[in-house]
Amino acid sequence: MNLKPDPSLLDEDAFVAAFGGVYEHSPWIARAVWQDMKGKVPTRAADLAKAMAAVLAQADGDAKLALLRAHPDLAGKAALAGNLTTESHNEQAGAGLDQCSAEEFARFGALNAAYTQKFDFPFIVAVKGMDRHGILAQFAARLGNSYETEFETALGEVNKIARLRLEALEQTS
């Protein structure tokens, strides 16, 4: 199976338009992939995901931190106000985060605040296949991580989210 649209048939701007949202509010990753590969980009989700993850791995710490900070809080203010990207909205709804009780929203709010205060970026987890109870448990457990561990964990989750988004584009083809 190949991605749709076929990345190998796109010019740089069209490629960035089609795949720039794979990493939340960070189209620079798609642009760097296209430029690094001189337009000969992979047409399979797994291969494009690896190329994008490699760009992120080579980025400096400030770029990585900016990418992490581009992610919304889970079940946070953006979700409540309807200000999520379509992908984030669908992912959070798929995990039942739009069905939280008042107590669960309060728990997410408290965890979001504690996590952001400690790490200076939002909690990030690939929620596909998870429910809100599992997310809350992972959230609480990861608060005990060191900054370095959590930074790397968050980047790994971002790459997982990107891979899942690309796989969804491949499955619809």
- For residue 5, whether the previous peptide bond is cis, meaning omega lies within 30 degrees of 0, is yes
Taking each helix axis as running N to C, give the angle between helix 147-171 and helix 102-119, from 0 to 180 degrees, rounded to the nearest 10: 120
Query: Residue 3 has what pLDDT?
Result: 92
Query: Residue 86 has what pLDDT?
Result: 67
Look up residue 18 and give its amino acid.
A
pTM: 0.87
Q: Choose, from 25, 71, 89, 133, the residue flagged as catalytic.
A: 71
To the query of whether residue 71 is one of the catalytic residues in this protein, the response is: yes
Cα(108)–Cα(34) distance, integer angstroms: 37
Q: In the predicted model, is pLDDT for residue 6 greater than 80? A: yes
Q: In the predicted model, is pLDDT for residue 31 greater than 90? A: yes
Query: Residue 98 has what pLDDT?
Result: 72
> What's the CATH number for 66-171?
1.10.3330.10
Query: Residue 90 has what pLDDT?
Result: 66
Contact by Cβ (8 Å): 170, 49: no
Give the pLDDT band (50/70/90) at residue 138.
very high
Q: What is the pLDDT of residues 74-98, one digit of tens each?
A: 765 544 445 456 676 666 666 666 7
DSSP state for residue 99 in the 8-state scheme: G
Domain boundaries, the chain: 7-59, 66-171
